[in-house]
Amino acid sequence: MQITRKDKRRVSKFFANLAGNMPLGTAVAEISSAIDEKAGLPPGYDYTFTGKYELMKEGQGNLGEAGLIAMVLVILTLAALLESFKQPGLILVTLPLGLIGMIWALYLTGKTLEIFVLMSAVMLIGIVVNNAILIVDQFNIHVREGATRHRAMINATCERFRPIIMITLAAVLGMLPLAMGKGIGSEMRNATGIGSAGGILVSGVLTLVVIPILYDLFTRRQGTIGSDKKNRGESQESG
């Protein structure tokens, strides 16, 4: 009775609803596998997914671009403030730590990586770096005072321990109403709150350990070379 066309091609539309515990991406992957491996299509026929999946793919692309721009802006801002490109690189190490916490929080609570969770991941780029900025800023103060870099990093981490814990707890507690809310539409909000709280909590705790270790690891050789040159200089002066 009716011939439907799209882009001057005949199309047949199939509609389906997801089960309550089936993520959209997983459903698309299983259907695609079933069509390609089992059913197959005659020559000249193909298939594509539209609707919510098409919107999700477009949103993922836009969020990926936004995340990249956010990281570039963070690097340029920190490089201008700290007058260094090495220290912003060290600070950005906290971003994977936040993603680890987000993924584990979603896994433990049975939530999926939805589009709103990806939006919160982009927002976390400007949040999880704050703890590392506190440590690096205090480290620079100690270096200007004449302390060795190794001792300056240890002292900075110890002195910023309490502020970092306070900031992390405040941010996590602020996310709990979003993570534990009930009512209409709470399913989307819960995943966002849980992912954000997990990312902030894990990044705040691991930053106190990972940042000093990485800095000491990558500057140990440089510090050894500098000490050797200093010792040779003192030996020549004694001679």
User: What sign does the CA torsion over 75, 167, 104, 191 have?
Assistant: negative
pTM metric for this prediction = 0.69
Cα 157–161–163 angle (5° rounding)?
A: 125
User: What sign does the CA torsion over 223, 225, 228, 234 have?
Assistant: negative
pLDDT score, position 26: 81
Contacts of 223 (CB under 8 A, 6+ apart): 148, 149, 150
Question: Mean pLDDT in the chain?
Answer: 80
Is the per-residue pLDDT at 152 higher than 50? yes
Tens of pLDDT, residue by residue over 39-87, are 677 788 888 888 877 877 887 788 888 888 888 888 888 888 888 788 8
Is the per-residue pLDDT at 202 higher than 50? yes
Q: Decide if 151 contacts 96 (C-beta within 8 A).
A: no
Distance of CA 229 to the CA centre of its chain: 40
Mean pLDDT of 85-96: 83
The CA–CA distances, whole Å, from 73 to 21, 91, 105, 190 equal: 38, 13, 27, 29
Q: Decide if 121 contacts 195 (C-beta within 8 A).
A: yes
pLDDT score, position 221: 54
pLDDT band at 150 (very low <50, low <70, confident <90, very high): confident
Mean pLDDT of 215-223: 66
Q: Which of 4-8, 70-74, 138-142, 216-220 has the lowest mean pLDDT?
A: 216-220
Give the domains, in start order, of the chain with CATH numbers: 65-225 (1.20.1640.10)
Q: Decide if 22 contacts 114 (C-beta within 8 A).
A: no
Mean pLDDT of 191-213: 88
